[in-house]
Structure 1
Amino acid sequence: PYLAHRYPNAEILATPFTMAILESILKDENINLRNPRKIIREDSTQFIKGKSGTYKVEFIHTTHSTIQCVLVALHTQEGTFFYALDFKFDNYPTIGAPPRYNKLRELGRKGIKVLVVDSLYSGTYRRTPSERIARDLLEDAMSSVRDRKAAFIVTTFSSHIARLKSIVEFGKRTRRKIIFLGRSLNKYVNAAIKVGMCPFKNDIVLMKFRKQIDSMLKKIEKDRGRYLIVCTGHQAETGSILDRMVKDETPLKLKEGDNVIFSSSVIPTPVNINSRNKMDSKLMKKGVRIQTDVHVSGHASREDLRDLLKILKPEHVIPAHGSLQQETPMIELAAECGYKFGETSHLSSNGKVLRF
């Protein structure tokens, strides 16, 4: 919604969940977006009019750390351009279907001109584990919290509906009342409810506004063993619920023996790493028991990316979605697969034009 005004005639296409998120942002931030909008389905084909004619665009279902995600194949007279950002190859997802490998193989046989690819973890030498593994890790971590007099907090990515589903499933076993706190959680959970993708909607209490949240935290302070808090703040974002609790800015005062589970990884930027280090240090000084990295990534790792290159066989490879340090390993992987830097593999930057 922050760039679309530059292209007022461009139609916005999105899967139902993504469109619901967009509509929520527009409403919350009072943005008047004039672009036409259209909801598309996973595994659908659209025909879009452009300056050089009509383009065929395919939206291919894939897996990620949120729901209703797609890879994009743009068919042009010059060849097919394939956009593969924010994806993983999860053969055992806990919500939705596995990736459409047959469709990817079909496109690979027909030929791909350019692949723009998620390279965030191209330097991580493994396959990214399935969300089923994260579910098992979470079950083990949550079942270890047995102190009925201690506070119990779990924090994760607000958009990770599959992870939230697992948190609620295992939270119900604790016989605690499950409370979701925070604007971001409210936005994503309500979007999932709107598109019929929130199987836990009747098992939670969802709170958005600060007064409402602080009133609930006042209740929890008096009976901390009765509630399971699911909240924002796993990246130590300033003003998030967990950040405020750590700084003693809420009625619930964290103390020795309380529990915080981070069902997330630290996003690898200097700001996030520094912020989380400070938060973890404060929690430990309070005597809070913390469990970190109860998580698997939503991004492809090196061996997933190798598989994608073998399946699609693109003529050109362009790493994206990372710093130079994160994109360089993708160039190295491409070299292992026969691509030559500067000829068939390319490093680019925002705004740069590449000619093939």
Structure 2
Amino acid sequence: MQIVPIGGLGEIGKNSTLIRLGRDGLIVDAGLMFPDEELPGIDLVIPDFGFLATEGVVHGIALTHGHEDHIGGLPYLLRTVQAPVFGTPLTLGLARRRVEETQGTPTMKAVPVRPRRPVRIGPFEVEFGHVNHSIPQACAVAVRTAAGTVMWTGDFKFDQTPIDGEPTDFSRLAEIGEAGVRVLLMDSTNVERPGYAPSERVVGAALDQIFARAHGRILVTTFASNVHRLAQVFRTAAQHGRKVALAGRSMVDTVTIASELKALTIPRATLVPLDQIGRLQPRQVAILTSGSQGEPLSALTRMAAGTHRMVTIAPGDTVVFSATPIPGNEAMVGRTINQLYRQGAEVIYGSEVHASGHACQEELKLMLTLVRPTFFVPVHGEYRHLVRNQQLALDVGLPKERTLLAENGHVIEVQGNRIARVGTVEVGNVLVDGLGGVGQVVLRDRKHLAQDGMLIALVTMDRRTGELLGAPDIVSRGFVHMRESGDLLEECKKRVREAMDRCRARGTTEGGAVRSAIRDALGQFLFEKTHRQPMILPLLVEV
């Protein structure tokens, strides 16, 4: 039996794992990761699923829950692997939306499952077990094979007072552990936090206090997929006589899907269209909006900048950030908060209005104690999180030789009384923008342009003789200001003429060779003068 992490190890996001017996495979989750500032113009980062085309037969894809870091890469996986997708109804509903809105994706064959009811997927028997998280119908997944049981905890916490009244299924987890778990792969996100994650109900109490004291409009931003949080906002708004409007496509889509599937109950007459809030008094209005991560094009960011077409922030508004920034997004969130303050709003953020959906140290220890695996592989976290999670396993008595720290692409083999890395596969990142996949060359050019700008040399040349016809034209964008750098640009024109003369003296008239000569001459000159290396684009017109 082999386990191959495709994504999610050494990073936050892109969670996806392959388990295989010989040529038979099963994939658990297919997530994405949002880009940081080092990836200009990139919308999404997904695992490179290309290697799966030669890895035998993938019999199915099991999804633990409906968050983007677990389902967002599914459309791209389905282009490589046409396999049925298994999950709870809400998870499949959110996954189907993602697939349908991604062009060029095959139709998704969805197979709904229920916790405690195993399903057969090829040679694998797969059982979903209910766990608490910040979205309903989240599950751990146990995969039974002839070589033993492998269990993924998925994202989980032990919430004794969940707002949907369904605590984590302790008894079933213990039963699965009692029957024997060969390998446990466990969430590492909150391993650095001691104690227990607070209950979601704590946030409900904080929201109630905010709604009670606010006299103007209230805007609440959170992850659109945090359905439990959305439910609390709707309930609290109704109790305080406020109508709720939705801003942001992801927020509208999630509320629509979750309510249709009975995973979200909206009090009667509470939800109103966004374009109708102008008819209400400010004290009657609450807005659920996307933008908790400060995304540049999100609804809240546009409101803060004064560019949203329906909502303008005004003094007296209260904005609640009911989410914590994903690592790397802190600066964007900070900019949005600053802009909201400039518009006169009161902004509330921090731990009082957010409860993590991920287990802290004591809950992680409890999961290890319930399941009692033979082998343990920490997943879902940066490398320091994986190391800390391994240490927790040692603290509860698991021998170090029965734990393994892995990274994406490692082939983990379980055989007899040993677990070891026996090879690697190519599982890099695929960068996606609005036009599709973006390669490393395009990304390199974007970084180059962002750092040093661009200089264009427009040259007209006699195709037969190589003679320069007229004076060269130099255009700078993002490199130097043209009006203030006349001498430098005149010198650039001189270097272009000299390069053309050298080419003509050698009898070189081929366009590619002339462009290369101009690029080299300008590049060397500009680096000597400015110690910068703008992207140089010679545009050669041959007549």
Equivalent position of 2:297 in the other structure: 239
Q: Which amino acid aligns with 1:285?
A: R
2:387 equivalent in structure 1: 328
Note if contact 2:76-2:105 (Cα within 8 Å) is conserved in structure 1: no
2:183 paired with 1:114: yes
Aligned equivalent of 2:92, options 15, 19, 24: 19
- Asked if residue 195 in structure 1 is aligned to residue 261 in structure 2, the reply is yes
C-alpha deviation, 1:28, in angstroms: 2.6
Partner of 1:351: 409
User: Whose relative contact order is higher, 1 or 2, with alpha carbons under 8 Å and at least 6 apart?
Assistant: 1
Whether 1:2 and 2:41 are equivalent positions in the alignment is no
Alignment of 1:287 with 2:353, yes or no, is no
| Change over 3 Å in CA distance of 1:184–1:201 after alignment to 2 | farther
Would you say the 8 A contact 2:211–2:218 is kept in 1? no
1:237 and 1:201 map into 2 onto residues whose CA distance is 30
Retained in 2: the 8 A contact 1:234–1:264? yes
Which residue does 1:47 correspond to in 2? 120
Distance verdict in 2 for CA 1:36–1:257, change over 3 Å: closer
What is the SS of the residue equivalent to 1:354? strand
Q: How does 1:59-98 map to 2 (within 5 A)?
A: 59-98=128-167
Q: Secondary structure at the match of 1:75?
A: strand
3-state SS in 1 of match to 2:386: helix
CA contact (8 A) 1:85 1:320 kept: no
1:169 aligns with 2:232: no
One-letter amino acid of the counterpart of residue 339, structure 2: K
Q: Retained in 2: the 8 A contact 1:20–1:194?
A: no
Aligned residue among 231, 244, 252 for 1:178: 244
Give the secondary-structure state (helix, strand or coil) at the position aligned to 1:44: coil
- Bigger Rg over Cα: 2
CA contact (8 A) 1:64 1:87 kept: yes
Partner Cα separation in structure 2 for residue 2 and residue 123 of structure 1: 33
Q: Return the TM-score normalized by structure 1.
A: 0.88
> One-letter code of the match for 2:109?
P
Q: Structure 1 residue 5: deviation in Å?
A: 2.2
**Taking structure 2 as the reference length, what is the TM-score of the superposition?**
0.59
- Number of residue pairs matched by the alignment: 337
* Alignment CA distance shift 1:107-1:152 (3 Å): same
Deviation at 1:141, TM superposition (A): 2.4
| In structure 1, distance between residues paired with 2:349 and 2:227 | 19
User: What's the counterpart of residue 123 of structure 1?
Assistant: 192
Amino acid at match of 1:113: R
1:32 aligns with 2:105: yes
CA distance in 2, matches of 1:229, 1:55: 45
Name the residue aligned to 1:296: 355
User: Among 323, 348, 371, which residue is 1:312 paired with?
Assistant: 371
Give the deviation of 1:216 after TM superposition. Answer: 5.0
Displacement of 1:4 in angstroms is: 2.1
Contact 1:5 1:35 in 2 (8 A): no
Residues 23 and 204 (structure 1), Cα distance of their counterparts in 2 relative to 1, 3 Å cut: farther
What displacement does 1:182 show? 1.5
Identical-residue share of aligned pairs (%): 28
* Cα contact 2:78–2:105 (8 A) shared by 1: no
Looking at structure 2, the residues matched to 5 and 190 of structure 1 have their Cα atoms a distance apart, in angstroms, of 27
Partner of 1:115: helix, strand, or coil?
strand
Contact 2:238 2:267 in 1 (8 A): no
Aligned-residue RMSD, C-alpha: 2.0
Q: In the TM superposition, what are the counterparts of 1:268-283 in structure 2 within 5 Å?
A: 269-270=327-328, 272-283=329-340
